[in-house]
Amino acid sequence: MVRKTRSATYNLYEGPTSAMSSRKVTSSPKTNPGRIICLNVKIYTCYILAYILETKVEREDPNSASDSAESEEVEDTLGLRGMASPIRVVDDELPDYSAESENAPSILFPQTQIVLRLNPHIQPAAASWLVKKITGKKQDGGAELLVRCEPYGGRKKESLVLHVTASKLKFLEVAEYTELKKVDDHGVLREFTVGDMDSFLHGDNTLDNLLTAAEKQMIVLQELENIRALSGEDCIPGYPSHAVYTGQSLFQVYWAEKLISSYYPLHDNDELSKLGEKWYWAFFQAQPFEEIRKYYGESIALYFSFLGFYTTSLFAPAILGIIHLFLPDAASNHSLVFFCIFNLLWVTVFLEVWKRKCSELAYVWGTLRMTKWEEPRANYRGRMIVDRVTGRYQPTYPWWKTCLKIYGVSFPVVVLCLIGAFYVMLCSFWAEEMLMESKQRHGSQTAAYLIFLPSIVYAILVYVMNFYYRQLAEVLTEWENHRTQSQFERHRVMKLVLFEFVNNFMSLFYIAFYLQDLEMLKYQVFVMLIILQGINHFQEAILPLVLRKAYTAGRDYILNSCPSIAHILLSDEREPGSKENNNASVDADSIWSPKALGLQPLDATDPRIEMSRTEGEMDPYTGTFDDYLEMFIQFGYVFLFSSVYPLAASWAILNNVLEIRADAFKLCKVFQRPIARRVKDIGAWQIAFEAMGAVAIMTNCALLCLSDDLRSLAPSLSPAEWLLLFVIIEHILIAVTLALRQLIPDMPYWVKMAMAKLEYQSRQALKNEQAFKSRRQLTRRFKTIHGARSKPSATEGATTSPVSTTRKRLPLPRT
């Protein structure tokens, strides 16, 4: 646990210390091997006992003096008194806190990773049980994490807020268990191991920055989710109706039963400022993907990588669209065929090259071969049986029942919703057409004013339908009872994508293939691409910030100008830093006192208290679903009917440049810091974009057949022959796209070679370890079973040569 270098020894808690202050255990070549083995056993035993003492110190009063005496007793027992303990905090490097120091518990507490805000109406027994589980040992179903609470008065509508983190030992232990990949001193990306820690502490790497902020968040959240109910724990204390089963994740139960109101990580203001300067304030610089990954995790970084890659790829069709703008009318009219074929090939190449880019990023980030055994969702229902993989009791639900619900109920309901949305769109067109006819026939001024009313009503109805359909999709997907969260998200995405496709593109299909008005189609694509995306920018980044500023300004005005109203509003709220909300206001014998709950409070002046309150009032970031959906809709506008409006790619580039900055700004300033997630690709969205590309082949081929310029080349063809020509062109283009997918490998050659090399080295290391174990076993067997023979008798000595009495050694396997 100590990293020995040429000039310094790295202490696990305090960083580098001088070599003179660290005593090294050395042995001469003549040292007895048995003595070395005994010494190593003592050292490792000291590691284990010191880790137990360290965990105990974190749960008890840090100013207690009994631990030092206990530690000295352990050293006396092991004969290690005077040796530098590799995992003990060096007293000279810590601030000197006296017994009456009030700031010691807060300052010693490491950086908060996760904030848990409990339900204001939670029972004290349930809160105390959760705290004991978080800080408890693994064998007791605990997480072995560190917890502090904010100053708490136990009043009505006041939430108990917990700050959760882990020690450096815990971070390293879980990092090895979860197989996090790090680059070693030879530049090889491989799984991190504590036993080979020196190989990963190279360059500027230390134990403080070896793990990124996002990885520490994931470790703490994983340990929280792995808090398990033990045998005999049948329900949550204080809630007999909230039953739990052996091996169930208690954190998921608390979250599902709404005993935990919210949980979120806190922002690091210094790191956030540095990231903002390189990100949303830097308009002419590349995005800092590595800094984004370290701060927000792979999921957020991969979204911005996709957005940047997609925007860069749009330059080719955008340049051609701008050139098309300056062509003469005769050449411009015949460009439809070129843009249809070019854009279809471009879509296929873009999606295949993105797969390669995604593989490169996943390899560099260590998530390419990531395999994760997903636990059942908190709301997953089923019969309790022993799981074959984990050996724990888990709910099991027949898969055929889920399939029956999907195809027998959910799918017909979704189809009915799609038909209803399409019918509302048709009603809007019919109403607008009737008003236009009334204006042309009668010259009615009323019809002229009301001609825009159907479009306005339709826009409002689309917003309302989207709102309620999202709730319906959530309810249906929950009712289908999917086992894992990834399955749940995949089916929810499928439902929402279908509905958004109908709402956004069916009007374009109606104009293109029913009205067959290409000029109107061109105008409609322009309006929806520009205006709707401008509204999205305002709705995502500017509106939430304006509303929050207005709410804060209005609240401050009421507090300052209307004391009577302010007293009513704040009667049940906390005022940060006020005297009555300090822990001293809670009686020591109260069931809500920190001591009764098994907690230690943060200092009242700790800045993390104000940060958790401020960020707790922000809207939570629900994930990248809406961001990918926005790009999916734009992708459809650009390429479904791209041959009609070639400038669509140029407008998309302008929108995406603003989108990158707007999404970055809302992540840093508007929303709570999202929980980091490890991903290796964009998941179901890759399939959605590929499906959109397949639909684009059909729509563009259909536009070719409707083109008057193309029809003029063969005026003698009948409608049936034109339809046959459409089918032939479509199949040719589909065959070309399939050939491109086969010709462009999903993974670059250098990534394949790096993965093969890593696999070979892993297998060789396993063989070497097995050979070492085999040699040790054979040596032990040789010494114990084939011991020295007894001396031969006189008669035997006369007939036996001296060589035969010599014991021959067995050949040992080479390592």
The pLDDT of residue 805 is: 42
Residue indicated by tokens 């830097």: 282
Distance, CA of 571 to chain centre: 39
In the structure encoding, which two tokens stand for residue 647, read together? 């400038």
The pTM for the full model equals 0.76
User: Is residue 157 within 8 Å of 571, Cβ to Cβ?
Assistant: no
What is the predicted pLDDT for the residue at 741? Answer: 86
Predicted local confidence at residue 680, as pLDDT? 87
Cβ neighbours for 65, distance < 8 A, ≥ 6 positions apart:
none
pLDDT at site 157: 67
745/753 Cα distance (integer angstroms): 14
Q: Identify the pLDDT of residue 24.
A: 36
Report CA-CA distances (Å) from 73 to 56, 69, 80, 89, 609.
16, 6, 10, 17, 39
In angstroms, the CA 759 to CA 336 distance is 50
Q: Which residues of the chain have pLDDT under 50?
A: 1-44, 47, 49, 51-107, 572-585, 785-786, 788-789, 794-815
Q: How far apart are CA 57 and CA 53, in angstroms?
A: 6
Asked if 637 and 529 count as a contact pair (C-beta separation under 8 A), the reply is yes
pLDDT of residue 60: 44
Checking DSSP bridges between strand 8-11 and strand 235-236, what pairing results, if any?
unpaired
How many Å apart are CA 121 and CA 118, to the nearest integer? 8
Within 481-621, residue ranges assigned H as helices are 485-510, 518-537, 543-561, 563-569, 594-597, 607-616
Query: Quick one: pLDDT at residue 344?
Result: 82
Q: Among all chains, which residue has been given the structure tokens 């065929």?
A: 337
Specify the DSSP class assigned to residue 13.
Answer: T
Residue 156 is predicted with a pLDDT of 59
Q: Give yes or no for a contact between 362 and 681, defined as CB atoms under 8 angstroms apart.
A: yes
Question: In the numeric block, which tokens belong to residue 756?
Answer: 């093969």
